[in-house]
Amino acid sequence: MTAAPVPVPATRGGAARGGAPRGVSHAVAASGRSAHVAKYGVRFVALGYLALLLALPVALVFYNTFAKGLGPVITALQQSDFQHAFWLTLTITLVAVPLNTIFGVVAALALVRRKFRGRGLLNALIDLPFALSPVVIGLSLILVYGKNGWLGGILQANGIQVIFALPSMILATIFVSLPFVVREVIPVLREIGTDQEEAAYTLGASPWRTFWRVTLPAIRWGVIYGVILTTARALGEFGAVSIVSGKISGKTETLTLNVEDRYQEFDLVGAYTASIVLALMAVAVLLAMNVYQSGRFRGNGGKLVDDAAPGVAAGEVR
Amino acid sequence: MLIPLAAVAWRSVEDGPAAFLAAITYPESLSAMELTFALAIGVVAINALMGSLIAWVLVRDDFPGKSVINALIDLPFALPTIVAGLTLLTLYGPRSPFGLNLAYSQAGILVALLFVTLPFVVRSVQPVLLELDRDMEEAAASLGAGPATIVRRIVLPNLLPAILTGSALGFARAIGEFGSVVLISGNIPFKSEVASVNIYTQLENDDPGSAAAISVVLLVVSLVVLASLDWLQRRQSRGEASA
C-alpha cells in the first residue's frame, strides 16, 4: 500500500556510514552500546503505548463481536433500527459531502485567487469547526432552528421541521466537516500558481472552461483527499448530530447514535456490530488515504518523501 | 456557520451578565470545566512526550511492520468517536480482560482523550523530523556530544514548533471532545463530568441559557488556541524567510 521507494538524498546515508572515522575509540564504542539500548528502549516504549491505546482495544472489539460466531452478528445486521440507521448515515453523507466539496473548492479559490475585505478573517474562521466542540455546534443549530430559536417561529409557521429531523442532521454534519476540502485544496492552489490558468485565458478559454480543464485537474488530489476526510467525518459524526436529532430510534438515529443506543440497552452484540460496520468504513478511509499518498507521490514526480518507506533509517547515526 | 455561533453568544448574555456569571460559576459546571482543563493539560503533556517518541521511532527506527504502524496512527481520526469510546471500554471497562476497570473514572476520560488526540503531535513532528538535517547531529557527535545532549540541544529545539502545534491542536480537541468520553466517563457530576457533557446535560434539562454560557467559554478558548497557532505559524514562516 505504501509508496514507491523514498528518494532519501544519497549523500546523507553515505555520510553517516562512510564518513564515520574508521579508528573508533573505546569511548565511542561504549556510547554506541548505550545508544543501542536507547534505540530499543524508545522503540519498546513507543510501540507498547500504541499497542495498549490503539491495537489491543480495536482487536478486542473485533474478537468480542465474533466471539459467539456469525449468527448474532447477522441477526444484529438484520435489525430494522440498524438498517434504518445505516441508510440514514449514508443519506446524510451523500448530501453533506458533495455540498462541502463544492463549497470547499469555491472557498479555497476565493481565499487564494481573490483579494477581498475580510479575507484574513474568513481564513481564520474556516478552521473554527475543527477547534470547536461538536456539542457547541449542535447547540448553536438548536438556538437558530429550534422551537424558540431565531428562525424557529418562521419555520414552524410554514410547517418545516428542521430540529429533530433530517435537515438539522445534515446541517450539523456539514458544519463539523466544513474545513476539510478547503484546507486540502488551498496549499495545492498556492503551489500550482496561476501560469497555466493565464495561458488558458490568453488562448481564449472562458473562466468556466479554464476551471474544468486546467484548475480542477491540477488540484484533483487535494480535492480527493479532502473528500476522503470529509466522508470519514460525516460517517462518524456523533456529538452535534446527537443534540439536533433528538435520537428517535428508527427515525433520526444514525449509525453512531445506534451504537450508543444499543450499548445503553445492554445489547452489546448490536453495539459491537454497528461499531464494526463503522470501523470497516474507517479502515476503507485509511486505505484510501494511503492510495492517495502514493498517487500524490507519483503526481509530484517523486518529490514527496513518504515517511513510511524503508531506507530512511539507513542513514542512522551510529 | 456564523449565524448559529452568533446565536450562542447572544443566548449566553440574553438574560444579562449576572445570569451568565451565575451559569459559569454554577458549582457543577465549574467543576466540569476545571476537570476538562486539567485533563486537557495532562493530555498535552503526555502527547508531547509520547507523540514525539512515536514520530522518532517511525522516522529514525526501522523494524518489520513499520508501514502498518504508520498507517495505524491515523485510525483515531478515521474511527468515529463513539466507536473509539466503546473500543476503549472493551479493554478498560467493567469486562476488561486485564481486570482494569477505568469506567466512570477520570483516568478513563484521560485514556479516551489520549486515544482521539494521538495523531496530532505524531503527524506534525514526523515531517519535520524527516527533513531535519543529520549533519548537525553528526557534527555534534563528532565533537563529543552524547546522545542525550544531541537530543536536548539539537533535535528538541528543531522539533519544538511542531510539538507545540500538535499539542495545541490536541488541546483544542481535548477540551471539546464528547463522543469518545460520553460512554466511558459515566458523566457523574463533580467527578467525571466534562464540560461538553455538562453542556449536553444543561440542554437536556431545558436550560439553553446555561448551556450557551459554558459554550461561550469553550468557544473563547478555541479562538485563543487558533489565534496562537496562527501566530506560531507566522513566526515560523518569518524565521524561515530570514534564515
Lowest-pLDDT range, A66-70, A146-150, B61-65? A146-150
> Cβ contact (<8 Å) for A307 and B137?
no
The predicted-structure confidence for A30-42, as pLDDT tens digits, reads as follows 556 777 787 888 9
- Regarding whether A73 and A63 lie in a shared domain, the answer is no
The beta-carbon neighbor of A141 closest among B4, B76, B146 is B4
CA A240 – CA A135 distance, rounded (Å): 5
Angle, helices A70-78/A80-113, rounded to nearest 10 degrees: 70
pLDDT score, position B17: 85
Asked if B219 lies within 8 A of A141 by C-beta distance, the reply is no
Q: What is the mean pLDDT of residues A187-216?
A: 90
Question: Which comes out higher in pLDDT, residue A194 or A8?
Answer: A194
Q: What is the mean pLDDT of residues A285-309?
A: 57
Cell matching residue A75: 441477526
Residues A259 and A136 in one domain: yes
Tell me the per-residue pLDDT of B35-90, one tens digit each, with 9 for 90 and over. Answer: 999 999 999 999 999 999 999 999 999 999 898 898 889 899 889 999 999 999 99
Quote the cell numbers at residue A84.
434504518
Average the pLDDT over B13-25 and give the result.
85
**CB of A46 within 8 A of CB of B169?**
no
pLDDT digits (tens, 9 = 90+) for A257-280: 999 999 999 998 999 999 999 999
Average pLDDT score, chain A: 81
Are A253 and A181 in the same domain? yes
Question: Which chain A residue shows the shortest CA-CA distance from B92?
Answer: A57
> Contact at 8 Å (CB) between B52 and B163?
yes
Range of the domain at A35: 25-67
Q: Report the alpha-carbon distance of residue A183 to residue A25 in Å, rounded.
A: 52
Q: How far apart are CA A168 and CA A163, in angstroms?
A: 5
CA distance A213 to B33: 52
| Cβ count near B162 (within 10 Å) | 22
Average pLDDT over residues B130-141: 87
For residues A61 and A83, membership in a common domain is answered with: no
Which residue, of A47, A67, A87, is where some domain finishes? A67
Topology given in CATH for the domain delimited by B19-242? MetI-like fold (1.10.3720)
Regarding whether A249 and A271 lie in a shared domain, the answer is yes
> Looking at residues A122-141, what average pLDDT do you find?
88
Is A3 contained in some domain?
no
| CATH number of the domain enclosing A182 | 1.10.3720.10
Give chain B positions within 8 Å (CB) of A16: 134, 138
The residue from A67, A97, A128 where one domain ends is A67
Q: Which residues touch B219 (CB under 8 Å, ≥6 apart)?
A: A132, A136, B5, B8, B9
Grid coordinates representing B178 are 464528547
Task: Provide mean pLDDT across the span A193-199.
Answer: 89
**CB of B155 within 8 Å of any CB in chain A?**
no
Secondary structure letter of residue A162 according to DSSP:
-
What residues in B contact A57, CB-CB < 8 Å? 87-88, 90-92, 115
Q: Are residues A62 and A115 in the same domain?
A: no
CA distance B81 to A133: 12
A58, A128, A130, A143: which to substitute to probe chain B, counting the most B Cβ within 10 Å? Answer: A143
Residue A312 in any domain: the answer is no
- Chosen from B2, B3, B5, B98 to mutate, greatest number of chain A CBs within 10 A: B5
Q: Which residue has the higher pLDDT, B66 or A296?
A: B66
The Cα–Cα gap between A128 and B222 comes to 8
Distance, CA of A190 to CA of B126 (rounded, Å): 23
User: Is the pLDDT reported for residue A124 higher than 80?
Assistant: no
Q: How far is B230 from chain A (nearest CA, A)?
A: 8
pLDDT level of residue A234 (50, 70, 90 thresholds):
very high
Is the pLDDT higher at A90 or at A286? A90
Q: Is B200 on the interface with A (CB under 8 A)?
A: yes
Any A CB within 8 A of B156 CB: no
Q: Tell me whether residues A239 and B59 touch, CB distance under 8 A.
A: no
Q: What percentage of chain A reaches a pLDDT higher than 90?
A: 43
Whether residues A310 and B5 touch (CB distance < 8 A) is answered with no
A241 and A138 Cβ atoms separated by less than 8 Å:
yes
Whether residue B177 has pLDDT greater than 50:
yes
How many Cα atoms sit within 13 Å of A124 on the Cβ side? 15
If you average pLDDT over residues A285-301, what whole number do you get?
66
Q: Count structural domains, chain A.
A: 2
The complex's ipTM works out to 0.88
| Cross-chain Cβ contact A278/B127 below 8 Å | no
B215 shares contact with chain A (CB less than 8 Å): yes
Question: Does residue A236 contact residue B80 with C-beta atoms inside 8 Å?
Answer: yes
Distance from CA of B167 to the nearest CA of A (A): 13
The pLDDT score that the predictor gives to residue B129 is 92
Does pLDDT of A21 surpass 50?
no
Q: Quickly count: other Cβ atoms within 10 Å of residue A202's Cβ.
A: 8
Asked whether residue A6 is assigned to any structural domain, the reply reads no
Which of A39, A133, A265 to mutate against chain B (most B CBs within 10 Å)?
A: A133
Give me the pLDDT at residue A296, please.
58
Q: Which residues in chain A have Cβ-Cβ distances shorter than 8 Å to B60? A: 312-313, 316
Is the pLDDT score of A311 beyond 70?
A: no
Residues on chain A touching B77 (C-beta within 8 angstroms): 229, 232
Per CB-CB distance under 8 Å, the chain A contacts of B114 are 53
CB contact (8 A) between residue A143 and residue B7: yes
Query: Are the beta carbons of A309 and B67 separated by less than 8 Å?
Result: yes
**Is A186 inside a domain boundary?**
yes
Together in a domain, A115 and A43: no
Selecting from A46, A263, A271 the residue whose C-beta is nearest the C-beta of B57 gives A46
Chain B residues in contact with A127 (beta carbon < 8 A): 226
Q: Which three cell numbers stand for residue A185?
A: 485544496
Element (H, E) at A185: helix A179-192
Closest of B76, B129, B52, B166 to residue A305, by C-alpha: B129
Q: Apex CA B41: angle with CA B56 and CA B95, to 5°?
A: 85
Q: What pLDDT is recorded for position A181?
A: 94
Dump pLDDT digits (tens) for A44-63.
Answer: 999 999 999 989 999 999 89
pLDDT tens digits, one per residue of B77-135? 889 999 999 999 999 998 888 888 898 999 999 999 999 999 999 999 999 998 888 88
Least Cα distance to B60 among A27, A38, A179, A234 occurs for A38
Task: Let me know whether A219 and A266 are in one domain.
Answer: yes
Nearest to B129 by CA among B35, B197, B228, B56: B56
Which of A43, A64, A307 lies nearest to residue B59, judging by beta carbons? A307
Whether residue A10 has pLDDT greater than 70 = no
User: Are A175 and A289 contained in the same domain?
Assistant: yes
Residues A172 and A42 in one domain: no
